[in-house]
């Protein structure tokens, strides 16, 4: 499991570094926030392209081989960023990195979640989320490297990918979980299993979707807003990192509490506190210390909703549907990640003095209402 967690950390570094770096480069080149937001969606389009095939690929080739192919794709793509300067080619490279990252994330995530029991599920998945959050927090600190050479971040990511590739080579390959022969899930087509997961756990899937919006807007639109507010470039890495830091601090405590008190109750409390934190952040946006504090508090509670949402979903579905549930979580996460920067960039461009934190407030408020009213699909 340790090696898988290293893979997750590197995935977090990749996302935490690549998104803001390209957003900053585009802003310095005078490219509009709308185009920048659309361009960032390439990463998540890659995830969407790969997701429907991942369940079958993992079953056929095993977890290890899927991770190795994903790392190879990200390694080559990061090197090609240094070679080409075309916006269109960069779009294609981001798409390829999305495919590679999805292969690594889903294979390692399914491998971990399919081998733990329900009583430890919240804790183990929270450790998974902590590792991703740790990488996500480290990544933005490398954005300052573009002041020396804009190729350095891409070279660092390529080196990390090949290093993890070598480590994963020593793992023993394993295939997907064994299915109960009394329930013939293997014969069901993709969309049938897709529908079954939705029937069981549509509420739980709101959390990866929302986290996708949160993560992508913070990485893509928030740096643009900071630059347009004439604030220091280093503040971007601080704001992105404190959100991830808050997530790191509370991943395991929230996971343990969700095991003890129930996933749904903890998620309801987390989204409510997150909503309040972002509201305060909007009101006092020009107060840097208070803004940083509110983003840290928000990270403590909503920074864990992806991992807790997956644990909640796994609680609600039969074990036979865990691979499809994991795939579907990646799909809805990708939709949120694609929509977030496009909507955020459009609002920044069309509404004077718009604050992207309002996007988070609306989403989290909606989820809080859904959970409070008990709109949960019965098992």
Q: Are 274 and 301 in contact (CB under 8 A)?
A: yes
pLDDT of residue 4: 77
pLDDT of residue 346: 86
Give pLDDT tens digits for 169-216. Answer: 888 877 655 544 444 444 456 677 778 888 888 888 999 999 989 988
Give pLDDT tens digits for 208-259. Answer: 999 989 988 887 788 777 777 776 667 777 887 788 788 888 888 888 898 8
pLDDT of residue 117: 64
pLDDT of residue 231: 67
Domain boundaries, the chain: 2-175+187-373
Please report which confidence band the pLDDT of residue 273 belongs to, taking 50, 70 and 90 as the band edges. Answer: very high
CATH number given to 2-175+187-373: 1.20.1250.20
Q: Are 235 and 256 in contact (CB under 8 A)?
A: no
Q: What is the mean pLDDT of residues 28-46?
A: 82
pLDDT of residue 187: 41
Give pLDDT tens digits for 280-333. Answer: 988 888 788 898 899 899 999 998 898 889 888 888 888 777 778 888 888 888
Please report which confidence band the pLDDT of residue 379 belongs to, taking 50, 70 and 90 as the band edges. Answer: very low
pLDDT of residue 116: 66
């Amino acid at each position: 499991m340790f090696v898988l967690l290293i893979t997750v950390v590197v995935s977090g570094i990749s996302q935490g570094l690549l998104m803001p770096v390209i957003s900053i480069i585009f802003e310095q080149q005078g490219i509009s926030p709308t185009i920048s937001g659309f361009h960032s969606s390439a990463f998540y389009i890659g995830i969407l392209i790969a997701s429907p095939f991942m369940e079958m690929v993992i079953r056929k080739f095993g977890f290890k081989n899927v991770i190795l192919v994903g790392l190879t794709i990200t390694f080559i793509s990061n090197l090609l960023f240094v070679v080409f300067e075309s916006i269109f080619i960069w779009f294609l490279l981001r798409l390829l990195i999305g495919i590679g990252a999805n292969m690594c994330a889903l294979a390692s995530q399914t491998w971990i979640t399919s081998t733990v029991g329900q009583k430890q599920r919240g804790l183990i998945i929270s450790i998974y989320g902590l590792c991703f959050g740790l990488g996500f927090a480290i990544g933005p600190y490398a954005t300052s490297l573009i002041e020396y050479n804009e190729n350095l971040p891409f070279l660092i990511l390529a080196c990390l990918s090949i290093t993890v590739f070598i480590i994963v080579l020593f793992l023993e390959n394993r295939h997907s979980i064994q299915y109960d022969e009394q329930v013939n899930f293997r014969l069901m087509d993709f969309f049938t299993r897709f529908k079954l997961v939705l029937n069981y756990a549509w509420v739980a899937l709101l959390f990866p979707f929302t986290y996708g919006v949160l993560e992508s807007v913070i990485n893509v639109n928030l740096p643009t807003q900071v630059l347009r507010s004439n604030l220091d470039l280093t503040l971007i890495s601080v704001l992105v990192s404190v959100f991830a830091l808050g997530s790191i601090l509370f991943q395991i405590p929230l996971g343990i509490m969700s095991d003890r008190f129930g996933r749904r109750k903890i998620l309801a409390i987390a989204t409510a506190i997150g909503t309040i934190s972002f509201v305060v952040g909007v009101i006092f946006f020009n107060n840097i210390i208070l803004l940083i504090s509110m983003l840290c508090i928000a990270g403590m509670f909503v920074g864990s909703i992806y991992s807790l949402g997956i644990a909640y979903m796994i609680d609600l579905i039969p074990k036979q549907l865990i691979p499809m549930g994991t795939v579907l979580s990646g799909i809805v996460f990708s939709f949120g990640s694609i929509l977030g920067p496009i909507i955020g960039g459009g609002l920044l461009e069309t509404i004077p003095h718009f604050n992207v934190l309002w996007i988070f407030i609306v989403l989290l408020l909606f989820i809080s209402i859904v959970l409070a009213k008990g709109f949960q699909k019965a098992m």
